[in-house]
Structure 1
Amino acid sequence: MKKVLCLVLLFIMFFSMLPAPLLATTQDLSSTVRHVRQAVGASNFSERLDWPILALVGAGEKVDSLIRIREQQVRRGELFDARRSTDYHRTIVGAVAAGVNPRNFGGYNLVQKVKDSQRESGKFGDLISGEGENLVNAHIWGILSLYVAGEPIPNRFRALSWLVNNQKEDGGFSVETGMSSSDVDMTGMALMAFAALGLDADHPAVRKALNYLKSQQQDNGDFSPWSSSGPESIAQVIHGLIMLDIDPAGREWTRKGGSLVSALLRYRRADGSFSRRPGGEMDFISTYQALAALGDVNRGESIYTLLHRKNAGFTDLPPNHSAFADVSELVFRQVLSGYPDGTFRPQNPVRRDEFAKMIVAALGKSPGSNLTTTRFADVPPSHWANPYIRVAVEHNLIRGKDKNLFAPADNISGAEVMTILVRALGEEERTVAKPGEAWYAGSVRVAREKGLLYGGFDAARPATRAQCAYSLMRFLEQSGS
């Protein structure tokens, strides 16, 4: 009885030490998603869909029907001003988030229009014609819309210089160049643009903007009332910080009364929606802005960075490559990633430890960095893939070469890939090999039936990264993920 009591107390102590905002974040997203879904699905809904689409995608939701509605609106000129540049910017963001090509959307090549709107100064015009040097937000969203679309920012140094030259003395930014006071949410957006332009937190202009935001943060973690603070402002700052690899719930952004994340959650109502002021009525804009920011917090990566990674592609994987679509989708789902030099190396063979990570990520199972296995002598607790191998083995997806060895550095064969995927589909009972057949024959039969076999399949040869991408994508389609 004493042992049980001790375990219970340890359990309570452990969870009491976890940051409350982060615990709340995960459990509350579903109710927030529901409110956004209900709002955009209402017959009298008359607002732009682009930002709600972004927020829903960031929360892992499908938005196929919403983006079709939005494309028809653009085609008819509804909620889309063909002169105003920011309408192009937000429409690109929504289209890209939904996985639709913004270069052919509603009768427009939105990306080319934005690129053509850039002025000699490097600023993206207030109007899509290129006219206007006044709107800071038009410049910032010109940068961000091209960034998420995977486009290199044209005249990058001039675009950056214009932004830096319009930073206020206090380090902040305002919506218009002629305004004297800085604005929290515009400064958060500027952080996003700085990150998209390749700057890090140590750049003087970035540090100056961060210092301005710190000067506006109150003891409760929120921003000063006179800075027009609210969920929208906090959300933009969270996006900007995460794009710069800064933790908005970390020590640097935590005051004695809470962090930016806990400050945002104070605007959350009991039903999961958000209000403009704590305790106020449900506000749709506040709700989807908060959802997008909390999605970033949960993921540990900005939705803008994620979209950029998906669409920027790899130097050795052009859009006409047979694996491009599958690889792009799996990168978006954080199942695959490229190399630091910007390549994907589609013909490289996949190792057993690498595929263990791929299948665990594809199934959406979190390995937990502190949970490792000591089962295999060749996979020490310090091995980068140990947590993934543990999960894969525990779920009977992959097995060791023998009782004590996993052989993490061995290339994985086509037979092993199909065996693992068939097990993950719950079809192992159907894989019993017939007398005289190879051990993997049954798995290959089921894999062929399910459409998992990649082109040029050879059970004995190592599977390449492109081949694994094909089979993993077909697996996800079969499993309904």
Structure 2
Amino acid sequence: MKNKKPVRIILMVLAALICIGSMGYANSNARRKAALKKKIYDASQKTIQHYYDTYEPREFAGLMDWPALGLYGFGEDISGPVWTVNGKNAAYWREEQVKAKEGLSETKNTDYQRTLIGIVSANRDPRNFGGIDFVKTVKETMLPNGHFADSVKDTRTKVPIGDDLINSQCFGIISLYCAGEPTPNRDKAIRWLEKNQHVDGGFTWDVKDYSDKEDYLKVTSDVDMTASTLMAFSILKMDTNYPPVKRALEFLKNQQLDNGGFQSWGVQNPESTIWAIQALLMHGENPLDKAWEKTKDCGPVEFILKHQLENGTFTHVLDEKDMLPVYDNSMTTYEALYGMADAYNEETTYTKLYKANRPQSEKLLFSDFKEGDYGYNEAVEAAYDYVIDIYADGTFKPHKNVTKGELARYMVNALNLQDEFYSKYSGDELKFVNENSDVLEIDSEDNYIKLCLEKGIFQGIDSLDKEGEKEREIRSDELIPALLNGGKLINKNLEAEKLEFDSFISGETVSRAQCAVSLSKFMKLVK
């Protein structure tokens, strides 16, 4: 028999070398991050000082909306005493503008969305700012197809209108997130974004609706909108396993330049790089990591910092000859500040705002359902987990009976089957197979029922185990078996009694509040 001892020794040595190498890489990455963070912090303080010195003589008028986001990210309270002169500050002046309808056009939903972000960044109440409830206003702009309308009010009809801008969709989702709110009609909001993804994996500012596939194939996507859509997907709880997210991230990675930055409209610039950083952070990637360093000292953060001027401001482009900053740009400066905050905190300021504002928003989420009502806490939980949909008008409708179609949707969401739903009903090929396919058709409850039937969720429930009848109200003796089947699908054997809501009576219809309670129990048991 051959002596295997030398082989074992070699393997042990190799394992040790690999371990040492891994530790060395980890230490190198940690040192890189620490050094970058110091550079970010130093650069940010110059920008913050610039804002203070520039706006203090004006009683900080004009410091909202976007500069407030970056200042909040670095822990500055622009409504506090440091940023207040003569009892006035940025929030005071912005509120005066809102009262006068300045910087706030009803034809631009994005005006309301960015103002909402600015308000919460200033630690002010977004539900009563200048006499406007910005949370309610943005929510109510959602159209039946899940798109946040391009305008808040049409000049003639006085209702939200416009289905062309991806920008308004993304920032509708982002602005509500900053206010600590979930997005209404989440599933349709996802479908709307899905159907506007291009074959290269990216997105553009507006909808490209071609009947000829060849025209569609010629579209070149944009880094900025791809990044903002990735942020929206993350907020809607669609992770990197989700096909559209995978493709969009791949597009973004392929757009990184050799100098570490990104470009849009043919120009490499800090703004596009900042949005890319935000998207990466929201999907678990850290732009400070060595993996995002294209060559030595050429990562996305280094690229941004090269654009800073001595006075703390940032320039949109570098001098072509010497690659040095040339003149300041206000938009680049405020985007650079919140981009630096995100990179420094290794978390987007949008997420920081969400965490700060969610506790209060939970208490105000529904206009027809209050704390202390039966099922309220479970309904809030289900809404934030995007298991049960919430309505754009701010109601939950707790006493409304649940239908078969609604239950199918809830089960798909509770079991994280949206990936399969996409692959089966919402893939790119539908754009060309059926010219009339749209969000409402794709996201129909009939399709959710079909997926539940395919997965066996309605198996053995004679009244549910067939297509159609989406409006049929379900009974308690149908809800519990469906939940039990859902458990079996993920190898969890559950007990019926542990899924029942209070005052459970077999054979009676189930309200949304009662369904929320049973779904909450189900979610806890299967985790």
Alpha-carbon distance, 1:34 to partner: 1.4
Deviations 1:200-243 (A, max 9, x none): 23322112111111111111111247544311111111112112
Partner SS, residue 313 of structure 1: helix
- Given candidates 113, 122, 127, the residue that maps to 1:103 is 127
Q: 1:16 to 1:214 in 2, by over 3 A?
A: closer
> Are residues 1:301 and 2:351 paired?
no
Tell me what 2:76 maps to: 61
For the residue of structure 1 that corresponds to 2:268, the secondary structure is coil
> What is the match of residue 511 of structure 2?
none
The 8 Å contact of residues 32 and 272 in structure 1, kept in 2 or not, is answered as yes
- Give the C-alpha shift of residue 292 in structure 1: 0.3
For 2:172, the equivalent position in structure 1 comes to 142
DSSP 3-state at the match of 2:262: coil
Structure 1 residue 16 displacement after superposition: 11
Q: What is the Cα-based RMSD across aligned positions, in Å? A: 2.9
Taking the aligned partners of 2:63 and 2:107, their CA distance within structure 1 comes to 16
Residue of structure 1 aligned with 2:41, choices 26, 38, 48: 26
| 1: CA distance, partners of 2:305 / 2:59 | 28
Stretch deviating more after TM superposition (259-268 or 247-256): 247-256
1:36–1:284 CA contact under 8 A, matched in 2: no
Work out the CA distance in 2 between the residues paired with 1:319 and 1:125.
Answer: 23
Give yes or no for contact 2:107–2:150 (8 Å, CA) kept in 1. no
Matches within 5 A, 1:108-123: 108-123=132-147
Structure 2 alignment gaps of length 5 or more: 1-26, 80-88, 154-159, 210-218, 319-324, 366-380, 386-527
Q: Please name the residue that 2:307 is paired with.
A: 267
Residue 274 (structure 1) shift: 1.0
2:338 is the counterpart of 1:292 = yes
Aligned to 1:229, what secondary structure does the other structure show?
Answer: strand
Pair 1:48–1:175, CA change in 2 (3 A)? farther
Q: Deviations over 1:417-456 (max 9, x none)?
A: xxxxxxxxxxxxxxxxxxxxxxxxxxxxxxxxxxxxxxxx
Structure 2 residue aligned with 1:365:
none
Q: Judging changes above 3 Å, is the alpha-carbon distance between structure 1 residues 144 and 202 closer, same or farther for their aligned structure 2 residues? A: same
User: For residues 294-322 of structure 1, what are the alpha-carbon distances to aligned partners after superposition, in whole Å with 9 as ceiling and x for unaligned?
Assistant: 1111112111011111111289x8479xx
Is 1:248 the counterpart of 2:283 in the alignment?
no
Which structure 2 residues correspond to residues 6-405 of structure 1 after superposition, within 5 A? 17-19=31-33, 20-41=35-56, 43=58, 49-64=64-79, 65-129=89-153, 130-178=160-208, 180-224=219-263, 226-257=265-296, 258-278=298-318, 279-313=325-359, 318=363
Tell me the SS of whatever aligns to 2:339: helix
Contact 1:217–1:223, Cα closer than 8 Å, also in 2: yes
Query: How far apart, in 2, do the equivalents of 1:212 and 1:16 lie?
Result: 27
Q: CA deviation at 1:84?
A: 1.8
Q: 1:104-140 deviations in whole A, cap 9, x for unaligned?
A: 1111111111111111110000011321110110111
Higher relative CO (Cα under 8 Å, sequence separation at least 6) belongs to 2
Change (3 A) 1:286 1:172: same
Rounded to whole Å, the distance in 1 between the matches of 2:29 and 2:189 is: 46
Give the conservation status (yes or no) of the 8 Å contact 2:72–2:121: yes
Asked if the contact 1:184–1:229 (Cα under 8 Å) also holds between the matched residues in 2, the reply is no
Could you give the per-residue CA deviations for residues 380-419 of structure 1, whole angstroms, max 9, x where no partner exists?
xxxxxxxxxxxxxxxxxxxxxxxxxxxxxxxxxxxxxxxx
Q: 1:73: Cα distance to partner?
A: 0.6
Q: Residue 211 and residue 153 in structure 1: after superposition, are their counterparts in 2 closer, same or farther (change >3 A)?
A: same
Aligned to 1:451: none
Seen in structure 2, the aligned counterparts of structure 1 residues 196 and 30 have a Cα distance that, compared at 3 Å, is same
| 2:371 match | none
Q: State the AA in 2 paired with 1:110.
A: F
Residues 40, 49 of structure 1: 8 Å contact kept: no
Query: CA separation in 1, counterparts of 2:358 and 2:115?
Result: 18
Q: Distance in 1 between matches of 2:75 and 2:134?
A: 25
How much has 1:38 moved relative to structure 2? 3.5
Counterpart residue identity of residue 181, structure 1? T
2:201–2:251 CA contact under 8 A, matched in 1? yes
User: Quick check: 2:223–2:263 contact (8 Å CA) kept in 1?
Assistant: no
The CA distance in 2 between the partners of 1:298 and 1:22, in whole Å, is 6
Quote the Cα distance in structure 1 between the aligned partners of 2:28 and 2:279: 31
Verify the 8 A CA contact 1:92 1:110 in the aligned structure 2.
yes
Does the CA contact (< 8 Å) of 1:172 and 1:187 recur in 2?
yes
Is 1:148–1:305's contact at 8 Å kept on the other side of the alignment?
yes
Task: Give the counterpart letter for 2:344 in structure 1.
Answer: N
Q: In the alignment, is the contact (CA less than 8 A) between 1:185 and 1:233 conserved in 2?
A: yes
The residue type paired with residue 176 of structure 1 is D
Alpha-carbon spacing, 1:142–1:226, altered in 2? closer, same or farther (3 Å): closer
Alpha-carbon distance change, 102 to 253 in structure 1, aligned in 2, over 3 angstroms = same
Match of 2:311, SS state, is coil
Between 37-46 and 240-249, the greater mean CA deviation after superposition: 37-46
Deviation at 1:14, TM superposition (A): 8.9
CA distance in 1, matches of 2:57, 2:197: 41
SS for the counterpart of 1:207 is helix
Give TM-score scaled by structure 1 length: 0.60
Q: Is the 8 A contact 1:254 1:260 kept in 2?
A: yes
- Partner amino acid for 1:134? D
Instruction: Map Cα deviations across residues 121-172 of structure 1 (whole Å, 9 max, x no partner).
Output: 1000001132111011011111111111111210000001101111111111
| Deviation (angstroms), 1:249 | 2.1
- Residues in 2 aligned to 1:95 and 1:285: alpha-carbon distance in whole angstroms: 18
